[in-house]
């Protein structure tokens, strides 16, 4: 006998997208040393605004607390401190969603939990994802060898695919507002997904990482839909909301009502977390708590508005040029149809070579992204304006 590896890793596709973008940029820089300074990156999914002052102050005072014998804390609860869970509970109450504190689990970010949640589900389950898709949903399931079916998002369905009677899936990933398309499901559409999950005894894994960009009457949480608590787990993040991409904090909601074959899922997740995770640092959780204070909310809103203005600069340009796109209004992502019927890598090269602007080719998110392109609103106003001025020149 000899040790055996998880063979599913051999079936994973290379994480080719960002490596290939970096390779093409390096080549371009080598070929055009005189133009290197003109490069504008509009492909980044990372935020650029610094942490809000309220968050920084809360983290400084939490650190000082830990530095004094009388207020030092060691291991905290694996599932998070009540002070942060209570702040999240109040946030959900604004959308008329009632959560029990035991349903809220604090983590080091949505990405970890999106992968870790699969510990609770058998490898025989069929997984449904949209195409294009945030690649983490696909790769984490491929690592376990699950069967994945793709639901095509396209111009015809506004990049918001809906379930059909003949569809079959046990685990369904929905991301709204969506990465990469920026499209957002409305209440009626989410109702249909919840009904589908209930009829098919499926579970929806709802990724709400971009909920803070939602405006108007669009849902922030799947639990705004009646009956969703029985069929959905929700993942959320402080990354884009409050600039925590490097600080790391998120949360997952596992409702008590989610019961499969008579077994409640919430205690399984608690068992999983208390066994395999030792909690998020006290300092980070105090910083996340400050996100929900009046001062924190005001400062965070300023940052979100800053990104929204960038999104508007991009969508105004696309409107002017008559280019089809989704996103931008309730999302930091703008998903546009490549001008001139180009495929997404050809448009990437054209934009880089002729405008010195970098975006993300849609093909990197799935087959259905082949002739689409993602721009993000996370740059500065100055760079966004300049990039769109050059974009307009290129597409005139």
Shortest distance (Å) from residue 381 CB to ligand PLP: 22
Among 130, 140, 176, 179, binds ligand PLP (CB under 6 A): 179
Shortest distance (Å) from residue 375 CB to ligand PLP: 15
> Can you tell me the distance from the alpha carbon of 180 to that of 155, in angstroms, rounded to the nearest whole number?
14
Contact call for residues 179 and 213 (beta carbons, < 8 A) = no
Shortest distance (Å) from residue 346 CB to ligand PLP: 25
For residue 379, the SS3 value is coil
Rule CB under 6 A: say whether 109 interacts with ligand PLP.
yes
For residue 186, the SS3 value is coil
Rule CB under 6 A: say whether 242 interacts with ligand PLP.
no
Closer CB to ligand PLP, residue 210 or residue 325?
A: 210
Shortest distance (Å) from residue 142 CB to ligand PLP: 17
Contact call for residues 132 and 181 (beta carbons, < 8 A) = yes
Among 55, 104, 111, 151, binds ligand PLP (CB under 6 A): 111
Among 43, 135, 163, 250, binds ligand PLP (CB under 6 A): 250
- Residue 254 Rama label (left phi>0; alpha psi -120 to 50; beta): beta
> Can you tell me the distance from the alpha carbon of 193 to that of 224, in angstroms, rounded to the nearest whole number?
13
Closer CB to ligand PLP, residue 121 or residue 251?
A: 251
> Can you tell me the distance from the alpha carbon of 76 to that of 282, in angstroms, rounded to the nearest whole number?
7
CA distance readout (Å), 21 to 1, 43, 302, 325: 43, 9, 31, 22
Rule CB under 6 A: say whether 333 interacts with ligand PLP.
no
> Can you tell me the distance from the alpha carbon of 228 to that of 236, in angstroms, rounded to the nearest whole number?
16
Footprint of ligand PLP on residues 116-145 (CB under 6 A)? 134
Footprint of ligand PLP on residues 77-106 (CB under 6 A)? none
Among 45, 77, 115, 227, binds ligand PLP (CB under 6 A): 45
Rule CB under 6 A: say whether 308 interacts with ligand PLP.
no
Rule CB under 6 A: say whether 237 interacts with ligand PLP.
yes
Residues that bind ligand PLP (CB under 6 A): 45, 109-111, 134, 175, 179, 207, 209, 237, 239, 245, 250
């Amino acid at each position: 006998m000899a040790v055996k590896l998880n063979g599913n890793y051999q079936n994973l596709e290379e994480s080719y997208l960002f490596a290939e973008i970096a390779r093409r940029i390096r080549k371009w820089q080598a070929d055009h040393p005189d133009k290197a300074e003109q490069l504008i990156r509009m492909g980044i999914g990372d935020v650029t605004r610094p942490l809000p002052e309220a968050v920084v102050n809360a983290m400084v005072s939490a650190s000082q607390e830990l530095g004094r014998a009388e207020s030092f804390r060691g291991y905290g609860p694996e599932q998070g401190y009540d002070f942060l869970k209570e702040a999240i509970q109040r946030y959900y109450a604004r959308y008329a969603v009632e959560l029990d504190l035991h349903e809220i689990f604090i983590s080091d970010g949505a990405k970890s939990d999106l992968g870790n949640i699969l510990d609770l589900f058998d490898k025989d389950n069929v997984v449904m994802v949209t195409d294009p898709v945030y690649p983490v949903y696909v790769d984490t399931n491929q690592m376990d060898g699950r069967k994945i079916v793709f639901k095509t998002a396209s111009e015809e369905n506004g990049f918001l695919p809906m379930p059909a009677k003949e569809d079959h899936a046990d685990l369904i990933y929905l991301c709204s507002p969506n990465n990469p398309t920026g499209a957002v499901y409305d209440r009626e559409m989410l109702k249909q997904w919840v009904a589908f999950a209930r009829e098919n005894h499926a579970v929806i894994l709802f990724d709400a990482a971009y909920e803070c960009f939602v405006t108007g009457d669009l849902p922030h949480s799947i639990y705004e839909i009646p009956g969703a608590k029985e069929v959905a787990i929700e993942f959320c993040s402080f990354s884009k909301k409050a600039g925590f991409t490097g600080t790391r904090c998120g949360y997952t909601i596992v409702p008590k009502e989610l019961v499969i074959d008579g077994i409640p899922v919430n205690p399984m997740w608690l068992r999983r977390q208390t066994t395999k995770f030792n909690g998020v640092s006290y300092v980070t959780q105090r910083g996340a708590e400050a996100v929900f204070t009046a001062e924190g909310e005001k400062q965070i809103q300023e940052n979100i508005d800053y990104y929204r203005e960038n999104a508007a600069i991009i969508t105004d340009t696309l409107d002017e040029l008559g280019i089809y796109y989704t996103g931008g209004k309730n999302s930091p992502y703008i998903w546009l149809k490549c001008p001139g019927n180009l495929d997404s890598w050809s448009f990437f090269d054209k934009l880089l070579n002729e405008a010195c602007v970098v975006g993300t080719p849609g093909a990197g998110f799935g087959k259905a992204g082949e002739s689409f392109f993602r721009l993000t609103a996370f740059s500065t106003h100055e760079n966004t304006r300049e990039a769109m001025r050059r974009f307009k020149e290129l597409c005139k």
